[in-house]
Chains A and B, each alone.
Chain A
Amino acid sequence: MGMYNDKVMDHFMNPHNIGELENPDGIGTYGSPVCGDMMQISIRVQDEIITDAKFKTFGCGSAIASSSVATDMIIGKTIDQALAITNKQIIDELGGLPAVKIHCSVLADHAIKAAIYDFAQKNGKIYAGLEGFDPNEDDEENDTCDTEE
């Protein structure tokens, strides 16, 4: 099919890690200011390693595929490694996204940070990778809300 590559379609059709962990160690939600979508990621952490992650997403095919691949990417990683994941890496892992859909991967990258932020808050931890991140602040750089046709 036209707009997405096979890898994206695969993650969209059969997403990995759907759901919400029971009693998660960290849980975060991030809403896209661009198109009004929402992603939630919950994580289980043991000795600084993310042992499990699940997601729930209200959004387009690309948002669902990004959530699926992003949760895959953080499982087994240390918190610091997970925080270092950029949306560019998520896109690369998916083999590329259409230009207009890049912001959906930002959604995933932010939702990961929001979940880790929650974990850090609960456990009194400080991570360099979270510096300047505030999950309650709706947006930073790439707000294209007022894009006109």
Chain B
Amino acid sequence: MRQVYLDYAATTPVKEEVLKEMIPFFSENFGNPSSLYTKGSASKEAIMIARRKVSSLIGADENELFFTSSGTEADDWAIIGIADALKSKGNHIITTGIEHHAVLHSCEYLAKNGYEITFLPVDKEGRVRAEDLENAITDKTILVSIMYVNNEVGTIQDIKELCRITKSKNVVFHTDAVQALGNVKINVKELGVDLMSISGHKIYGPKGIGALYIKRGTKISDFMHGGAQENKKRAGTENLTGIVGFGKAAELAELNSENHITKVTELRNYFIDQVFEKIDDVFLNGSREFRHPGNANITFEFIEGEAMLLYLDLLGISVSTGSACSSASLTPSHVLTCLGVPVEKIHGSLRFTIGDPTTKEDIDYVIEKLVEVVAKLRAISSVSKAKGW
């Protein structure tokens, strides 16, 4: 049976070139980068090269990039580290209702510890309104954290404009760019951000490696306490193979950037057009214009997402859903809720994310099967257009 993976926003496979680059650093060049002998300095050198490659992908200076264990750690560090460092200045943090849980839960943790958190609303496409941000800033505001590209609906924010607002009020700006990396052109200097979280496994690198960009001069408390690694800011023996893999993946992403974006955008648009042509009562969640190139988040009315997902899985197709039924807490996607999508329509939402390895044949196969699955579940469903809810 054909296998079609359409969940590249969840994670990506490690590219062969990346894996090849990593292999020697497991058993052969395994030295601790902190060791003074040759085996150690060779590892140190490898990390330096990788840091250069990852920095280059986001337009940062090498000494502004700090490796972490994940995008989540980078988010946690940015938020809790800034909150702590600037606590004498204020206790107010602004974020949005559509952030990744790494940001939301870090903010909720701070809320329990005396900080005030404002969760900005978004419009129905998932975009933050500049005036909402402007109005939310008070003289107690110390940090604004807004994600660059949303993981569920793919909405891209105007980070440059939002940054301009915070800068005029002297507030630190952090962005979670985990989904943006490799999928939109990023230059931290042009954007004006103070902090940016990124991760390796979304760009065909390994899992367990992320990084936080910290603009030179930004006051931030340490998060991991211990040795002097990462310029004394992030302790813990470096994830050598992960860093080397992240470096290679970043190098390839930079080289492929244009190609990748054009190719997945084309396939994604073809996919959306086909779905709309072949299936009734569907709609796209998020924005047409400001959208992650590979993301299609579509609601299929009158049926439920987990059921669709399982049927598709049996046909070799991997996708995800925002349905309440599929989450451990039985709550619908907080992102789609924030966009104003009603619960019963969130039920029928599926997220497809297209990646480098996806082909047109894959898309055609998925469309063919999707038509069958939707028809089958609609025949079972107790709700329909004629019947209503």
Contacts and interface: CB of A to CB of B under 8 A. Distances in A.
A34 B310 CA distance: 21
Interface in B321-340: 323-332
Given A1-B314, A60-B325, A38 B383 contact: yes
Interface residues of B, number: 29
B330 A58 contact: no
A149 B344 contact: no
Given A58-B303, A147-B330, A39 B382 contact: yes
Contacts of B347: 36-37, 58
A81 to B, nearest CB: 25
A15 B310 CA distance: 14
B304 interface: yes
A57 B382 contact: yes
B375 interface: no
Contact of A13 (B302, B306, B314, B329): B314
Interface residues of A, number: 29
A132 to B, nearest CB: 25
B344 A60 contact: no
Contacts of A61: 306-307, 310
B310 A12 contact: yes
Given A18-B380, A36-B344, A147-B330, A59 B310 contact: no
A29 interface: yes
Interface in B364-382: 379-382
Contacts of B325: 35, 37, 59-60, 63
B17 interface: no
Interface in B342-361: 343-344, 347
Given A1-B313, A35-B324, A58-B302, A40 B382 contact: yes
Contact of B307 (A40, A56, A59, A147): A59
Given A1-B310, A1-B313, A144 B330 contact: yes
Contacts of A147: 329-331
A60 B380 contact: no
B7 to A, nearest CB: 15
Given A12-B310, A147-B329, A149-B331, A59 B379 contact: no
Contact of B323 (A34, A57, A60, A100): A60
A22 B306 CA distance: 30
A124 to B, nearest CB: 27
Contacts of B344: 36
Interface in A66-84: none
A131 interface: no
Interface in B276-335: 302-304, 306-307, 310-311, 313-314, 323-332
13 contacts: A18-B380, A35-B330, A36-B343, A36-B347, A37-B325, A57-B380, A58-B383, A59-B325, A60-B307, A61-B307, A61-B310, A63-B307, A100-B330
Given A1-B310, A100-B328, A147-B330, 11 more contacts: A36-B347, A37-B325, A38-B382, A38-B389, A56-B382, A57-B380, A58-B303, A59-B304, A60-B325, A144-B330, A149-B328
